[in-house]
Amino acid sequence: MTNKDFYSAIENRRSYYGISSEAVVSNERIQEVINHAVKHTPSSFNSQSARVVVLTGENHTKLWNITTETLRKIVPAENFGSTQDKMNAFGSGYGTVLFFEDNTVIESLQKQFPLYAENFPVWSQQSNGMLQHVIWTSLELEGFGASLQHYNPLIDDEVKKEWNIPSGWKLIAQMPFGKPTAPAGDKEFAPLEDRVKFYN
């Protein structure tokens, strides 16, 4: 990949909310892309504490049914229409990537390096964010559109029960993906001079 390709990939990664379940690449290719991202995304102390679960087919549908019914219990009925529309949109995709952090790894590092104990949870979140970006961009390069959602911790218990997730794994985010059916929305950018400072 050239520098231009890399910059284009970063720029083209957007939030897509209109997605379909049409296959863009094989499940084997999706697995290859995600395995590569998990293997090569950096982590503090090379902790490799990130965990990923990929749901497609009936499992993907089940996740968004679980989320829908969880939200139905807390969102007033008169306001549930827009929530239902969101759930339908996410559920209409091809799959969902679930991002976790393995707290047992983090706790082990805290014991080994007590001087940095309070930093390890922060560093793990930063690493997980990098992984989310790498997977998001990688899926985009394959022709998928995706978005990042956060229905944790509302759905954590049911997700762990349904897919036998270890108790030490903490759900961080959900990334529904599928073939784009509508373009990403316009994006505004704050002035870079307010956000970046150079001292040469």
How confident is residue 52, by pLDDT bands cut at 50, 70 and 90? Answer: very high
> What rounded mean pLDDT belongs to the chain?
96
| Residues 27-40 pLDDT 10s | 999 999 999 999 99
Mean pLDDT across the stretch 48-75?
Answer: 98
Q: CA-CA distance, 55 to 24, in Å (whole number)?
A: 15
Mean pLDDT across the stretch 59-85?
Answer: 96
How confident is residue 2, by pLDDT bands cut at 50, 70 and 90? Answer: low
| Cβ–Cβ < 8 Å for 52, 173 | no
pLDDT value of residue 40: 98
pLDDT value of residue 38: 98
pLDDT value of residue 145: 97
Running DSSP on this structure, what letter comes out for residue 45? Answer: G
| Residues 7-33 pLDDT 10s | 999 999 999 999 999 999 999 999 999
pLDDT value of residue 28: 98
What burial letters (b/e) apply to 159-195, b meaning 16+ CB within 10 Å? bbeeeebeeebbbbbbbbbbbbeeeeeeeeeeeeeee
Asked if the model's pLDDT at residue 1 lies above 70, the reply is no
| Residues 91-144 pLDDT 10s | 999 999 999 999 999 999 999 999 999 999 999 999 999 999 999 999 999 999
Mean pLDDT across the stretch 145-163?
Answer: 98
- pTM value is 0.95
With residues binned 3-state (H G I as helix, E B as strand, rest as coil), the percentages for the chain, rounded to 5, are 50, 15, 30
pLDDT value of residue 3: 63
